[in-house]
């Protein structure tokens, strides 16, 4: 392809990809504002009359306030736990590159590609009495985010000069003080990136609460959508309103954290 056509072709491909991604959002947005008969076909036609009350009905009958608080608890707690644990693990494995640490690093990042064995995981959750508990879901979510977080932070740690470690140790810093007082503040860009990506992954997840949360009082927003859909199969306008309310926090967080994601993903690529 001639160089003069590469840029227009790239822009066209980006436009088409964006269109494909935005089409489902457009579809649920317009159907969330329709009456029940109009939304039954889930068409792309604009509503004849706007029904904003659909959102209030969805919040009330779908019990979305409690589900929103559950989602916020799971996503926030698991994100903080996974990001902190991953930062400590990545720092140790990056600074002390023994064969054992290299094995642990490769073993951890295998979790990025390997699928979840729900049968074994269910047995473990039952044995530890963590099934159908909020703390069990938080621990499970945190563990699932560790592999990618370690992979992301590992490369960034290499960009921090080792001389800082040596200077801190000469000043009397012990290993915990070295990490939390010297290294951790320097990891802020990649920690924000990992935190945002972890939060979005946990908020959007559907399978984990479906398998391990039986009580509706513990359901996050994603599972509340499933329950609402099953109960109001013909009310596609309420289902669409429910889905739209679920994805709005994700869109807001992504738009606010987009520049941090890009900065964190590229800052560790020089030496990583």
Distance from C-alpha of 174 to C-alpha of 172, rounded to nearest angstrom:
6
Sign for the CA dihedral angle at 174, 175, 176, 180 comes to positive
Sorted by where each begins, the domain ranges of the chain are 60-267
Question: For 125-149, how does the pLDDT look when each residue is reduced to its tens digit (9 = 90+)?
Answer: 999 999 999 999 999 999 999 999 9
| Residue of 207 and 266 predicted with greater confidence | 207
Distance from C-alpha of 212 to C-alpha of 139, rounded to nearest angstrom:
12
The separation between the first and the last C-alpha atoms of the chain, rounded to the nearest angstrom, is 32
Question: For 66-107, how does the pLDDT look when each residue is reduced to its tens digit (9 = 90+)?
Answer: 999 999 999 999 999 999 999 999 999 999 989 999 999 999
**183 DSSP 8-state letter:** I
- For 250, the token pair is 């994700």
Distance from C-alpha of 235 to C-alpha of 226, rounded to nearest angstrom:
13
pLDDT at position 109 is 92
Distance from C-alpha of 138 to C-alpha of 85, rounded to nearest angstrom:
14
- For 239, the token pair is 């289902």
* Angle 225-227-232 from CA coordinates, rounded to 5°: 90
pTM: 0.87
Spatial CB neighbours of 152, under 8 Å, sequence gap ≥ 6: 86, 190, 193, 194, 197, 264, 265, 268
pLDDT at position 270 is 46
pLDDT at position 232 is 47
- Average pLDDT of every residue of the chain: 88
> Which has the closest alpha carbon to 90: 193, 208, 169?
193
Question: For 216-264, how does the pLDDT look when each residue is reduced to its tens digit (9 = 90+)?
Answer: 889 999 888 776 665 546 678 888 898 899 999 988 988 888 777 776 6
Question: For 151-193, how does the pLDDT look when each residue is reduced to its tens digit (9 = 90+)?
Answer: 999 989 988 898 988 898 988 889 889 999 999 999 998 999 9
The correct CATH number of 60-267 out of 3.40.50.720, 1.10.3720.10, 2.100.10.30, 2.160.20.10 is 1.10.3720.10
* Angle 182-188-191 from CA coordinates, rounded to 5°: 120
Distance from C-alpha of 45 to C-alpha of 85, rounded to nearest angstrom:
48
Distance from C-alpha of 197 to C-alpha of 185, rounded to nearest angstrom:
19
Distance from C-alpha of 72 to C-alpha of 84, rounded to nearest angstrom:
18
> Which has the closest alpha carbon to 140: 152, 122, 127?
122
């Amino acid at each position: 392809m001639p160089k003069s056509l590469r840029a227009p072709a790239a822009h066209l491909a980006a436009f088409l990809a964006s269109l494909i991604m935005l089409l489902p959002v457009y579809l649920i947005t317009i159907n969330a504002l329709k009456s029940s008969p109009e939304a039954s076909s889930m068409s792309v036609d604009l509503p004849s009359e706007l029904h904003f009350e659909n959102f209030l009905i969805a919040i009330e009958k779908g019990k979305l306030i409690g589900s929103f608080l559950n989602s916020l608890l799971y996503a926030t707690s698991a994100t903080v736990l996974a990001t902190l644990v991953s930062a400590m693990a990545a720092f140790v494995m990056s600074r002390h590159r023994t064969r054992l640490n290299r094995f642990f690093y490769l073993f951890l990042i295998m979790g990025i590609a390997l699928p979840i064995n729900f049968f074994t995981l269910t047995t473990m959750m039952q044995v530890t009495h963590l099934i159908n508990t909020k703390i069990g879901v938080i621990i499970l979510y945190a563990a699932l985010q560790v592999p990618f977080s370690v992979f992301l932070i590992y490369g960034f740690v290499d960009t921090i000069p080792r001389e800082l470690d040596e200077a801190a140790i000469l000043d009397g810093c012990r290993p915990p003080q070295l990490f939390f007082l010297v290294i951790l503040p320097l990891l802020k860009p990649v920690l924000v990136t990992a935190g945002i990506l972890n939060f979005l992954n946990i908020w959007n997840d559907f399978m984990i609460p479906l398998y391990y949360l039986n009580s509706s009082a513990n359901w996050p927003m994603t599972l509340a959508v499933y329950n609402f859909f099953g109960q109001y199969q013909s009310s596609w306008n309420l289902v669409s309103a429910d889905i739209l309310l679920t994805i709005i926090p994700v869109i807001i967080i992504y738009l606010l954290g987009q520049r941090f994601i890009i900065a964190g993903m590229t800052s560790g690529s020089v030496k990583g």
